[in-house]
Amino acid sequence: MKISTVSLLAVGGRFVRFAVVGASGTAIQYIVLGLGVEWVHWSPVDASAAGYILGSISNYGLNHAFTFRSARRHSSAAPRYFMVLGIGWLINTGSMAILVNAVHVNYWIAQIFVTSFGLIWNFLGSHFWAFREVANPAAEIID
């Protein structure tokens, strides 16, 4: 498979749009993390997990319409997206538990570290599977 400069630029553009959209979801996650830990007295792991879910939900529509400009139906894209993000949630929550509870890293530093891995995982899963272009939208149910 030959990769052209144009296709690399297209992926790069999608990644930038994904990161911009992701910043809003990350802001939601970090707000829930801070408020959850400091005001509600949740554990950092629980607050991070809750924030991740809310940020993921808020980002779906923007990623579908803006980041990937997907022609994929919501009935096909949404389950795929939330499966990718579900695995991302497991990575986020598990990594936070290890870093905060076992390694005793400050929860803000741990979250920043974990967020960088989540960005990569979520982009790759969204780009190559959840919002992957379909050759024949009418046949996407079996895609």
pLDDT in tens, 19-68: 999 999 999 999 999 999 999 999 999 999 999 999 999 999 999 999 99
Confidence at residue 134, expressed as pLDDT on a 0 to 100 scale: 74
| pLDDT per residue as tens digits for the range 111-143 | 999 999 999 999 999 999 999 987 666 655 545
Q: Number of folded domains in the chain?
A: 1
**Residue 89 banded pLDDT, cuts 50, 70, 90:** very high
Q: Indicate whether 4 belongs to any domain.
A: no
Q: Indicate whether 5 belongs to any domain.
A: no
Does position 4 have pLDDT exceeding 60, yes or no? yes
Q: Indicate whether 80 belongs to any domain.
A: yes
Confidence at residue 143, expressed as pLDDT on a 0 to 100 scale: 52
Domain with 24 in it: 10-142
Q: Indicate whether 3 belongs to any domain.
A: no
**The dihedral formed by the CA atoms of 30, 33, 34 and 35, expressed in degrees to the nearest 10:** 120
Output the pTM of the full model. Answer: 0.87
Q: Indicate whether 69 belongs to any domain.
A: yes
Spatial distance between the Cα atoms of 39 and 69, rounded to a whole number of angstroms: 39
**From the CA atom positions of the chain, what is the Rg in Å?**
17
Q: Indicate whether 52 belongs to any domain.
A: yes
Confidence at residue 133, expressed as pLDDT on a 0 to 100 scale: 83
**Mean of the pLDDT values across residues 78-93?**
97
Q: Indicate whether 46 belongs to any domain.
A: yes
**Residue 13 banded pLDDT, cuts 50, 70, 90:** confident
Q: Indicate whether 53 belongs to any domain.
A: yes
- The residues, ordered by sequence, that sit 6+ positions from 117 with a Cβ below 8 Å of its Cβ are 91, 95
